[in-house]
Amino acid sequence: MPSTAVPLATIGFLILSNVFMTFAWYGHLKFENRPLYLVILVSWGIAFFEYCAQVPANRIGYGYFNAAQLKTIQEVITLSVFVVFSVFYLGEPIHWKQILGFCFIALGAFFIFTK
């Protein structure tokens, strides 16, 4: 794979993985009347697809990125996907304190990638 494709493939798979992960972890919150065992089984099923994207993302990206950088990318994507999910799927507003907290996390990510 050309080196310019590595970051794009890694980030693309991580985004896909995090979409599945977010639905596996939080999607059931809209279905409070469903039995817990059922939402656990459905969440496990969704998580399978999360791993089908997460593992290739790390395989492809490792070497171009180090492990700390891969984890940092994953966390920033997780928060980004979660904000969109929370606002549009769960209908929860985002508050300035959350935005400020995410900015501090982004600042930490900056230091992870600075040589």
Model pTM?
Answer: 0.88
- What does the alpha-carbon distance between residue 108 and residue 90 come to, in Å, rounded to a whole number? 28
Q: Which residues constitute the domain of residue 32?
A: 5-113
Per residue in 8-40, pLDDT (tens digit) is 999 999 999 999 999 999 999 999 999 999 999
Specify the number of domains making up the chain. 1
- List, in order, residues 6 or more apart from 86 with CB less than 8 Å away: 26, 92, 94
| Residue 4 binned pLDDT confidence (cut-offs 50, 70, 90) | confident
- What does the alpha-carbon distance between residue 109 and residue 113 come to, in Å, rounded to a whole number? 6
